[in-house]
Chains A and B, each alone.
Chain A
Amino acid sequence: MDAEQKGALRAATSWPELRRLLGALDLEALGPRDAHLIHRALGRCGGEPDLRVAFLGNHTLEPLPAFVAACSALEGLLVATFVGPYGQHFQEVLSPESELAAFDPDVILLELGMRGLAPRVAGEFLSLTAEERHKERDQLLHGLLDWVQVARERTRATLLVANFPPPPFPQAGIADAKVECGEAEFYAQLNLDLLRALRPDPRARLFDLAGALGRAGTLRARDPKLFYLAKMAWSEACHPHVAEEILRHLRALRGLTRKCLVLDLDDTLWGGIVGEDGPLGVRIGEGDPESEAFADFQRAIRCIEQRGVLLAICSKNNPEDALEVFEKRPSMPLSLDDFAAVRINWEPKHLNLQSIARELNLGIDSLVFVDDNPAECELVRQMLPEVKTIELPRDPALYAGLLQRSSEFEKLVLTADDREKSSQYRGNARREAHKQQVGDLAAFLESLGTVIRIGRAGPQHVARIHQLFSKTNQFNVTTRRYGQAEVERFVADEGWEVGVLEVSDRFGDLGIVGLYLVERLPDRARIDSVVLSCRAMGRGVETALMNRIKQDFLLDGSFLGLEALYLPTAKNKPAERYFESEGFAVCEVLEGGGKRYRMERRDAGLLACPGTSVRGLEET
């Protein structure tokens, strides 16, 4: 930051103002002094935080929270932080009177140092027998898992549990590798046990502190002076890396995951210009350094696709030239089939990006745009600031690493749905082509052979439900963003019903594409949320879903009335008239355009959803 930027930061008085100033800064160029300056400005500006993050540990954790708050602010997230008194991680979650309870965190990071937890392991490893080492490891693991258990019960927070970075030099030197249960093995096994124990738990996540410190540099991450003077375990140099890793979790928890990666072609997917070098002349594949770098970039892109991100092409070229590369260079890691949308023309790129978003039914802020041309990148930054633009460096050797480091595509879990995403969209393209062929909409829907399975959600659906709540913007009647803990509670609580909906047709399986959440009140049922992925809209699925609610809550006799609410946002226009079209009566129009609805049992007629077959979840 220059002096002018610093001055503006000091003068900022509100979060929106600060957010605007910070939007211009680059996360990777953020130094410790900048982070502290931003943290102070945040303290002055206030504002309702998007996330409340608590840090618990057994050594001084400052200044990590300042870095986390500063990095998050750069990404537009306002994070409030709290640091618990050290060594008190059990008391803080157990006592309803604790400061932690008053802070009511969304996320708790637990970072325990070996020195405080198991001093003999940290300082006298060689004096321990193999048996004692095993015992110490078991105790460490169970202590952590006990804490997770208590914290799950006593808080609503998502729990991040840090693993243990091994010491830079084992106490036995190179002979450590020949010792039974040596130090390297001790840490590797402990970290592995912790990873495996936390894996099935939807609320607790391993925090890879060892990995983040490794990226910072194992030796640079330690400054013994800071430990002796202030009980700080890690040097200032490693905080940007640790904060970046925390931010990955926070972004994913908030559903800030981008959904589509849009790529240029020349000097992006391959080296050279196809219009000049020809399809056989562009550099991609094996044989020379540049070609290998581009092939690796394509492999990195493929990994992003396998996380459930859609790929698209946006290139200024003659389409026949560009498409020829895909035909004549079949050994390229990516094929044309990997791309859900393709724009190869001479139109300005921002118009193409808008049209890609429309075709894929995505918000423009779901896009990441990657190009090597600074002018194109600048145009897109200017015209579409909501798009995340990544300008490639000059050297293709750096391309793959840049994408692998990006936190734009972080997801909490990869569901079966994510792995299938791209083939589901290819199914969509075939559906669209089929629709053109059939011509008449009703005949088209009939011919799709849509099968809808609806039923009560179980624990196995929690991850997908949370994902739908956090990511769906368009067909979402109230846009309530429930966290993982809340979803678990809804699924388990008899007072609530969470229903999920799976759709398949002759072109493929769309997976779980919708959900509803209904609360049972003493005298009526209340529809809290209806969420439907845009992939499933407009083919009778909406009506099948509401029929099921009518059936379960009104027609089977348990309630006389059903109530519902629509709250408008900038994006949920497609859901605006949903309840009207399903037969609800508006009983109140709220300030800001929201609407309250009611339906009595006697009005609850089931509506036809032609061309669909509706079944229970497990029915075949």
Chain B
Amino acid sequence: MDAKFDDLVAEIFELEEGAVKDDLTPETVDLWDSLLQLRLVTTLEEEFGIRLSMEEIESIQSIGGLREIVRRHAGSA
């Protein structure tokens, strides 16, 4: 899951390969705004066949946090 997750994050935020780290936040990623965050979420939902709740989406503070949420859903799927 992690490699695919990293690829998708890199593609949407236009990051170099290997630059996707868990401590990335909206403050440290240039392109990270609310619309693009939503696009990242819908892309992850589509690619992993999962559905995030509004509460989960609103709670996203970092890539690590998002990864944790996706892992939880994908693991139980």
Contact = CB atoms under 8 A, between A and B. Distances in A.
A358 B53 CA distance: 61
Contacts of B28: none
Given A40-B14, A229-B57, A236 B42 contact: yes
Contacts of B68: none
B11 interface: yes
A230 B37 CA distance: 11
Nearest to B34: A230
Nearest to A230: B38
B4 interface: no
Contacts of B14: 40
Interface in B26-58: 34-35, 38-39, 42-43, 46, 53-54, 57-58
Interface stretch (A31-39, A127-135, A611-619): A31-39
A506 interface: no
Interface in A209-227: 223, 225-226
Contacts of A223: 42
A229 B11 contact: no
A228 B54 contact: yes
A145 to B, nearest CB: 32
Given A62-B35, A230-B35, A33 B58 contact: no
A235 B38 CA distance: 11
Majority secondary structure, B binding face: helix
Contacts of A33: 11, 43
Question: Chain B: interface residue count, which band?
Answer: 10 to 19
A63 B39 contact: yes
A223 B12 CA distance: 21
Contacts of B57: 225, 229
A236 B58 CA distance: 19
A230 B54 CA distance: 11
Contacts of A63: 35, 39
Contacts of B42: 32, 223, 226, 235-236
Interface string A115-145: 0000000000000000000000000000000
Contacts of A236: 39, 42, 46
Contacts of A6: 11
A230 B42 CA distance: 12
A608 B42 CA distance: 71
A172 to B, nearest CB: 28
Contacts of A37: 11
A49 B14 CA distance: 25
B61 to A, nearest CB: 16
Contacts of A62: 35
Interface in A228-269: 228-230, 232, 235-236
Interface string A6-42: 1000000000000000000000000011001100100
Nearest to A63: B39
Interface string A41-73: 000000000000000000010110000000000
Nearest to A66: B39
B39 A229 contact: no
Q: With a 10 A CB-CB cut-off, give which of B12, B34, B39, B58 has the most chain A CB atoms.
A: B39
A236 B54 CA distance: 17
Find the residue from A40, A228, A236 having the highest chain B CB count within 10 A. Answer: A236
Contacts of A232: 38
Pick from A37, A40, A228, A230 the residue with the most CB of B within 10 Å.
A230
A226 to B, nearest CB: 7
Interface in A359-389: none
Most B Cβ at <10 Å: residue of A63, A225, A235, A236: A225
A226 B37 CA distance: 11
Interface string A417-456: 0000000000000000000000000000000000000000
Contacts of B35: 60, 62-63, 230
Contact of A229 (B12, B46, B58): B58
A66 to B, nearest CB: 10
A36 B39 contact: yes
B43 A32 contact: yes
A33 B4 CA distance: 14
A332 B38 CA distance: 53
Contacts of A226: 38, 42
A226 B45 CA distance: 13
B43 A229 contact: no
Contact of B54 (A36, A40, A225): A225
Interface string A507-531: 0000000000000000000000000
Contacts of B38: 226, 229-230, 232
A62 B35 CA distance: 8
Residue with the highest number of chain B CB atoms closer than 10 Å, among A40, A229, A235: A229
Contacts of A36: 12, 39
A236 B35 CA distance: 12
A11 to B, nearest CB: 13
A535 B22 CA distance: 68
A223 B52 CA distance: 12
B75 to A, nearest CB: 21
A504 B57 CA distance: 68
Contacts of B58: 229
A225 B12 CA distance: 20
A44 B43 CA distance: 23
A223 B39 CA distance: 13
Contacts of A228: 54
Given A6-B11, A36-B39, 8 more contacts: A40-B14, A60-B35, A62-B35, A63-B39, A226-B38, A232-B38, A235-B42, A236-B42
27 contacts: A32-B43, A32-B46, A33-B43, A36-B12, A36-B39, A37-B11, A40-B14, A62-B35, A63-B35, A63-B39, A223-B42, A225-B53, A225-B54, A225-B57, A226-B38, A226-B42, A229-B34, A229-B38, A229-B54, A229-B57, A229-B58, A230-B34, A230-B35, A230-B38, A235-B42, A236-B39, A236-B46
Chain A to chain B: the 9 pairs with minimum beta-carbon distance, closest first: A236-B42, A230-B38, A225-B54, A62-B35, A228-B54, A229-B54, A229-B38, A229-B57, A33-B43
